[in-house]
Structures are given as C-alpha cells and as structure tokens.
C-alpha cells in the first residue's frame, strides 16, 4: 500500500550503518591527523572540489533508490487516512 515506506523499512539497518560511517568520517576520528573528512563534489567549470552540504539521510535514501517526493506523498496519504478514521 505504501511502497516507498516498505523500501525504507527494508533498508533501515543498512542505511543506519552508512549514516553512522559518514558521521564517523566527518568527526575527525577517521584520519590519522584528526582532520575531518567530508563529502565533496567537483565544480564542473574548473574541476575544483567543493564541500557537499546535504543532510546525510536524504543522500543515503536516494542511494537506495527511494523517491523522497513519493515518500512525502505517502506520508500525506497516511495522515489523511488517520484523519478520516477519527
């Protein structure tokens, strides 16, 4: 009935581990000199790296091919169904 939520539930443990790993990388514990490691992307114009600021969870969810817009639609549908029951 809610396919995106089912996918999210199925990858919950895996996504948690990935999020914890990314947080560990960013904490400074991963590098020998204590420097924080971070996710970056290449600037297309000059090929330089720039910090990639995004909440980790949506990034991981997209990795598992879960559509965030559809997930939001399902949440709204759930809320509407709950309202109708009361």
The model's pLDDT over 28-79, given as tens digits with 9 standing for 90+, comes to 888 788 788 888 888 778 888 888 777 888 889 999 999 999 999 999 999 9
Q: In total, how many domains does the chain have?
A: 1
Contact 52, 41 (CB under 8 A): yes
Query: What was the pLDDT predicted at 16?
Result: 94
**pLDDT at residue 29 in the model:** 85
Nearest of 5, 6, 12 to residue 57 by alpha carbon: 12
pTM of the model: 0.71
How long is the chain? 86
Domain of 31 in residue numbering reads as 3-85
Confidence at residue 51, expressed as pLDDT on a 0 to 100 scale:
82
Q: Residue 10: its pLDDT value, please?
A: 96
Tell me how far apart the alpha carbons of residues 14 and 71 are, in angstroms, rounded to a whole number.
Answer: 18
pLDDT of residue 3: 96
């Amino acid at each position: 009935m809610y396919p995106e939520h089912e996918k999210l539930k199925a990858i919950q443990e895996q996504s948690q581990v990935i999020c914890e790993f990314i947080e560990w990388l960013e904490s400074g514990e991963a590098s020998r000199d204590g420097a924080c490691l971070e996710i970056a992307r290449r600037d297309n114009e000059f090929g330089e790296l720039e910090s990639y600021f995004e909440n980790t969870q949506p990034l991981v969810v997209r990795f598992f091919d879960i559509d965030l817009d559809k997930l939001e639609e399902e949440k709204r549908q759930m809320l509407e169904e709950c309202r109708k029951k009361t």
